[in-house]
Amino acid sequence: MAGMAGGEEEEMESLLQWAATIGISDSPTASSSASSCLGHSLSISTFPNNGGRGMAAARELRRGEPVLRVPRAAILTTDSVVAADERIASCVRKHSHLSSTKILTVCLLAEVGKGRSSGWYPYLVHLPRSYNTLANFTQSEIQALQVEDAIWVSEKAVQKSKSDWKMAIVLMQEMELKPQLLTFKAWLWASATLSSRTLHVPWDDAGCLCPIGDLFNYAAPEGETYSEDLESPAESLQSNLFTSVKYNGSIEQFDSEQPETYSLRLTDGGYEESTDSYCFYARERYRKGEQVLLSYGTYSNLELLEHYGFLLDVNPNDKAFLQLNTDIQTSSCWPKDSLYIQPDGCPSFSLLCSLRLWATPLNLRRAVGHRAYSGSLLSAKNELFVMKWLISHCQDSLRKLPTTIEDDELLLDVIDKLLDHPSHKTCCELLSPEGELSGFLKKNGLQKNETGGCVLPTKANRSLERWRLAVRWRISHKKTLHNCISYCKKQADKVSS
């Protein structure tokens, strides 16, 4: 278990041993008496810059090769919790009007409340203690996102968590959960656990918690071919699931001697009814020691932050939305959420089409509609107008934001120093700057004389991590707008030459 401290490693060993006894395995020749469920295909390792704790290839893995199987008996779903406890079952029956995700959240808290007597205890103790999903952001951390849309999404996430908790509290009281499990803090923890870790199962929209299977970190899907029955990104978002791309084969083929079939699988994993187990496959070829990643679905950075509490510096699926007036939004029939700028600065197909139509006089729109919808340029004059409008709109948006990319990068540097060397002399030196940083320090009660030479309190440290995420998010948003300006300038030159 590369990169893990001694105690942590021992605890992890007990989880891997428990997992083996309940039939979780990364090997075709699984044995419930094995001392670990891993070792044949995978091992647990730490990837500091790529998700922290994650899965490493224990040997060279071929693309499409099965790497892990988790039997249904091991996964935690509402069904499995309820089946093991008649008292929980009867309470849940009385509250069947609650959404499946709220019920699973309550079931998770109920299992946590059982302590060592929970069948999933060895798994539950290894869940993260805290999360950085948007619902966990404080008002000042939300404001650090700077962009109105992103602030709105974050505030909505916080409000939704609060109202979900209020709706579920009666059920939790009836279950007689311990007082500390009835708090909003506990609810936030449980709902972030589900949001960031559940996998899709066909029988419950809330999904499942999958021991060991939820240790894969994320890689964005890029140019992969999905099977037709895959949920759309919107659907998978709605149900907060890892998107599990289904492989229409059988786990009977969990046999490393079938290279040709592996290359046909473009799958990460999914629940397979034929064997009643969750199965995971290598999404690409991995060398020994490399991190084995899973695609949870197609997400923009704001969506990753909302549901998983992280973002990618390079995310091919990121989207920057501009404030568009209603005339533009209604000039075509494209939905509002398809009107965005891609990370390379190129406007989305729908945005370009809408702008070209909007820039066309009303009485001529019908006549050029079919050309606009097929993605064609309408005229040099029209294109030039659209490009100039985009340039000035991006410049305006950037100007309205309180800081530049350069300011943000400097701030990020300071935050990194504070996180890396909280007890270092530099930490004290960093405590004097004006603006955002001094606001943060005040908010956390960290005046210069109070931090000299000591470690940052846990609460301040976590806040700093979330603030860092907000600053990284706004940098990537601003970069996209700058890229759009460059893209449009080039297009405008091309059209006018």
* Rounded Cα–Cα distance for residues 331 and 492 (Å): 22
Taking the least distance from each CB to ligand SAM, the nearer of 54 and 270 is 54
Of 36, 78, 217, 403, the residue at the interface with ligand SAM (CB under 6 A) is 217
Q: Contact with ligand SAM (CB under 6 A): which of 51, 66, 113, 119?
A: 51
Is residue 243 a contact point for ligand SAM (CB under 6 A)?
no
> Does 21 help bind ligand SAM (rule: CB under 6 A)?
no
> Is residue 327 helix, strand or coil?
helix
468 binds ligand SAM (CB under 6 A): no
Segments of 17-176 assigned E as strands: 42-47, 52-57, 66-71
DSSP-derived secondary structure for 372-398: HHTT----HHHHHHHHHHHHHHHHHHH
How far is Cα 472 from Cα 223, in angstroms, rounded to an integer? 25
CB contact at 8 A, 31 and 81: no
For the chain, the straight-line distance linking the first and the last C-alpha, in angstroms and rounded, comes to 60
- Residue 306 in the binding site for ligand SAM (CB under 6 A): no
Please identify, among the stretches 49-57, 75-83, 330-338, 408-416, the one whose residues bind ligand SAM according to the rule CB under 6 A. Answer: 49-57
The yes or no reply on residue 186 touching ligand SAM (CB under 6 A) is no
Residue carrying the six token digits 């707008």: 481
- Region near ligand SAM per CB under 6 A, out of 105-113, 181-189, 213-221, 274-282: 213-221
Listed in sequence order, the residues at least 6 apart from 400 whose beta carbon sits closer than 8 Å to its beta carbon are none
Considering the complex, state which of residue 44 and residue 106 has its C-beta at the smaller distance from ligand SAM.
44
The CA–CA distances, whole Å, from 307 to 133, 238, 393, 422 equal 6, 10, 30, 29
**Smallest distance, ligand SAM to C-beta of residue 265, A:** 21
Does the footprint of ligand SAM cover residue 122 (CB under 6 A)?
A: no
Q: Between 86-94 and 148-174, two packed helices, what is the crossing angle to 10 degrees?
A: 120
Asked whether position 451 contacts ligand SAM by CB under 6 A, the answer is no
Asked whether position 15 contacts ligand SAM by CB under 6 A, the answer is no
Phi, psi of 20 (to 5 degrees): -65, -40
Determine which residue in the list 69, 197, 466, 478 makes contact with ligand SAM, applying CB under 6 A: 197
Rule CB under 6 A: choose which of 196, 300, 397, 480 binds ligand SAM: 196
Nearer to ligand SAM, 217 or 483 (CB): 217
Q: Which residue lies nearer to ligand SAM by CB, 198 or 451?
A: 198
269 interacts with ligand SAM by CB under 6 A: no
- What are the residues binding ligand SAM (CB under 6 A)? 50-54, 128, 196-197, 214-215, 217-218, 308-310
